Every structure is written in C-alpha cells, then in structure tokens.
Amino acid sequence: MKSSNIGGQAVMEGIMMRHEEEYSIAVRTPDNEIKVKVEPYKSFIECKTLRKIPIIRGVISFVDSLVVGMKCLMYSASFIEEDEEEKEQRRKREEKMSAEELEKHREKEKKQESALMYGVVAFSLVIAVAVFMMLPYFLTSLLRNVTDTTWILSVTEALVRVGIFLAYLILISRMKDIQRTFMYHGAEHKCINCIEHGMELNVENVLKSSRLHKRCGTSFLFFVIIVSAVLLMFVQMESPVLRIVVRLLLVPVIAGVSFEIIRLAGRSDNPLVNALSKPGLALQKLTTREPDAAQAEVAIAAVEAVFDWKAYLRENFGYSGKEASCEAEREILSGRVG
C-alpha cells in the first residue's frame, strides 16, 4: 500500500473527496443522476508555515475538516426533494420579487446558511467535549469518595470514556437512515484502498476492496480517547477547578497528537503501527457498511473530480490499466491486501 493523500467523508446520498487544494462532492440525486461539484479547499488559517508544524497542523486540519464537512452536508441536503406544497410556496414568493429583491433574498439565505453552519460546528464541538471529555471526568469523580489513588482514577476515567464512545457508535449504527450513510462511508474507503493497492479504479475493483482504512475519522476518534487517557495520567491537579481547566486546554493538544498518529498510520506499514491501528479498524466495522454498485459509482466520480489516479498508478506502481488490476487481484487472493 502507498498513501495517495486523498481523504473524504460520506454525506447524504453522496461522498466528499479532498486532495491537496481541492475537494469534490458527488451526490446521487432523486432522479438517479450523479451531480459533482468541485471547490477550492481554503483553510481558516492562511499561514502555510503554521499548517506544516506538527501538532498545530493537526488542530488546524481538524477544524477545517469540520467546516468543510458541514458545507458538504448542507450541499448534499439541498438535493432532498422538497414537499410539493413547500415548492409551490417558494415559487410564489419568488415570483412576487423583482430581480434585485430576488438577488438580495438569495444572498440573505446564503448568509443565514453560513451562520447556521458555523453555529452547528461550534455547538458540535461543545457537545463533543462535554460528552467525551467532561462527562467521564465527572462520573469518575464519584470514586474520589472511595479512593484517591491517581492511577485508579485515571484508568477508570479512560474506561468510562471508551464505554461512552462505544455506546455512541453502537447506538447510531442501528439507526436506519445512518446505515445508508455508512454504506457511502464504506464506498469512500473502498475507493481509496482500491487505488492505494494499485488497482484500476472501476466499480468491480472498488467493491472487492476493503471497507476499512487506517486514516479513517473513526480511528482518529479512537486515538483521541487513547491519547487523552495517557496525557491525563501524567497531568494531575489538586484543585477540581484546575482539573476541568486543564482538560479543556488539552483538547487541541490531544487532537493535534492524534492527527500525527493517524497521519503516520496512513503512511506506514510498520508492524507496530499496524498493531496500534487494529482497534480503530475494528471500530470501523460499526461505522461502515458494504456499499452497492451505485454507491461505488458515486465514490469513483468524487475521486476522479480531484485526483488523477492513472498518473498515481504509473508513478507509484510502475504500471497501469489491466496489468495493475490483475496484479492487485492476485495480491488480494493471496491474502496480502487487507
């Protein structure tokens, strides 16, 4: 496997793929067409020097991913068919407007959507920190009436955090609407695995590739939990207020360190790195599902909009076309490809 540096996420009836300074969104519309949109990838931090510094680049990348991910979700949601009555009401409102009023109205809608997007991102971060960082701490604090042993409290807090995370994954994985999104998530991984193992990008090769990938966001969240557990074992405060403050201040550091680990995992086949990646890969069985051929087509469209996979195969595997496909297939059959 050779890293392609392409990554993405599932959206509503579609997939976002990002490579370097561009990202694409491919969506299967209600009339069964595939709509593809390509946008420049703009970080909220323009300074390229900061975006290259370890740990800091992880924090920036994490925030960027949330913002871009929310934009893509809102775009994919726009293809969901409105109720006929809602369509008619919208049409009547717009017919009464002059061209200038209609332009101002649409501009206002864009601003409202943007404000909503950033509001949702901020709210999501607060909820995530509250549930996965603070709640385990408060639950574990109940044990302080029984023991003051630091390592027992730290291990218990880590176990509670893992338990909450697993419960969350199991709960959402059972939701019918989410399961379809998880099928697109599987298609995204299969596409990336397909090209990173030297196979020609087509539906047949995508479907037989693995739906698990070491650079997945699920694995990232797993490493966040592990890194937070390790750091908090060594950072101890007597004051309850300081304990809370330290946990909040460490959130960016934990995200940054986890990013570096997941980045290394995606670039290395080292046995130790592979062993560390296995728990995250196992969790992906909850957050991905086997896609169908139509979903694989959407994933391929998203990849091809921003990534020249043929050039990648020529550069990294020394061959292309049928030869690449056959060689990779032999590796899969021999058990050498995941």
Q: Do residues 135 and 128 lie in contact, with contact meaning Cβ atoms separated by under 8 Å? A: no
Which positions ≥6 away from 218 have C-beta within 8 Å? 169, 280, 283, 284, 286, 287
User: What percentage of the chain reaches a pLDDT higher than 90?
Assistant: 41
Instruction: Provide the mean pLDDT of the chain.
Output: 85
- At residue 308, the pLDDT reads 94
What distances in angstroms separate CA 333 from CA 195, 196, 209, 338, one per listed residue?
17, 17, 11, 10
Which of 79-88, 107-116, 181-190, 328-337: highest mean pLDDT? 181-190
pLDDT at 83: 52
Between 177 and 219, where is the model more confident? 219
pLDDT-derived band at 267, boundaries 50, 70, 90: confident
- Cβ-contact 4, 195 below 8 angstroms: yes
> Is residue 132 over pLDDT 60?
yes
Half-sphere exposure for 53 (CA within 13 Å, toward CB): 9
Q: Over the stretch 271-288, which tens digit does the pLDDT of each residue have? A: 888 898 999 999 999 999
Beta 22-28 vs 34-40: how paired, if at all?
Answer: antiparallel
pLDDT value at 324 more than 70: no
* pLDDT for the residue 242: 87
Condensed to tens digits (0 to 9), the pLDDT of residues 224-249 reads 988 988 888 887 777 888 888 888 88
Question: For residue 334, what pLDDT is reported?
Answer: 44
